[in-house]
Amino acid sequence: MPLHVEIIAAEQPILTTDAEVVVATTVSGQISVLPQHEPLLTLLAPGELRLGRGANEVLLALAGGYLEVRDDHVTILADAAERAEDIDMARAERARDRATARLRESQSSVDVARASAALARAISRLKAVDQFRSRGVTRAR
């Protein structure tokens, strides 16, 4: 029985689907969730999220959030989420460059924190696109 996956962002639900595996980036590293996983609640870091494998694979970039596993239901509360195929590569690159520049110039700790968060988001988006392209994943649904 596959996992039932729900991805909900604060501003709208993103996606509901079934997948045989979920690979997520948590604050302490990547985890894979397979069916029959024990109940788990964890904090997600900005990074990629993979649902399913092979031809059905769906790639998303997450800007952090929470992941809950319970009875083969995976719920992801995302701060923001984007499907890899929807990501505007040029925009993400610009965002990364902007964040890098700001990181170099900024003095105050608030600026640094904000810029590095933006940088992490941009990098996770780019990585998701990269993986998506290199695998030639077919567009889901």
Partner 1 sequence: MATGREIQRRMRSVRNIRQITKAMELIAVTRLRRAQQRVLASRPYSSKMRELIGEIATQAGANAGDDGMLHPLLERRPVTRVGVVLITSDRGLCGALNGNTLRAALQFSYRQQNGGKPVEFIVVGRKGMLGLRHTDFPLKSEFTAIGDYPSMVKTNPVARVAIQAFLAGEIDEAVIVFPKFVSTLKQEPTILPLLPIDPPPASSKASVPGQASAGHTGDLLHEPDPRTLLSQLLPRFVEVQVYQSILETVASEFSARMVAMRNATDNATELIKELQLGYNKARQATITREIIEVSSGAAAQGR
Binding residues for partner 1, per CB under 8 A?
8-13, 26-28, 36, 38-43, 66, 68, 70-72, 75, 77
| CB-nearer residue toward partner 1: 77 or 140 | 77
- Beta strands at 58-70 and 81-83: parallel, antiparallel or unpaired: antiparallel
Residues, the chain, total?
141
Residue 141 C-beta: closest distance to partner 1, Å: 19
| CB-nearer residue toward partner 1: 122 or 137 | 122
DSSP string, 82-138: EEGGG--HHHHHHHHHHHHHHHHH--SHHHHHHHHHHHHHHHHHHHHHHHHHHHTPP
Residue 27 C-beta: closest distance to partner 1, Å: 7
| CB-nearer residue toward partner 1: 11 or 105 | 11
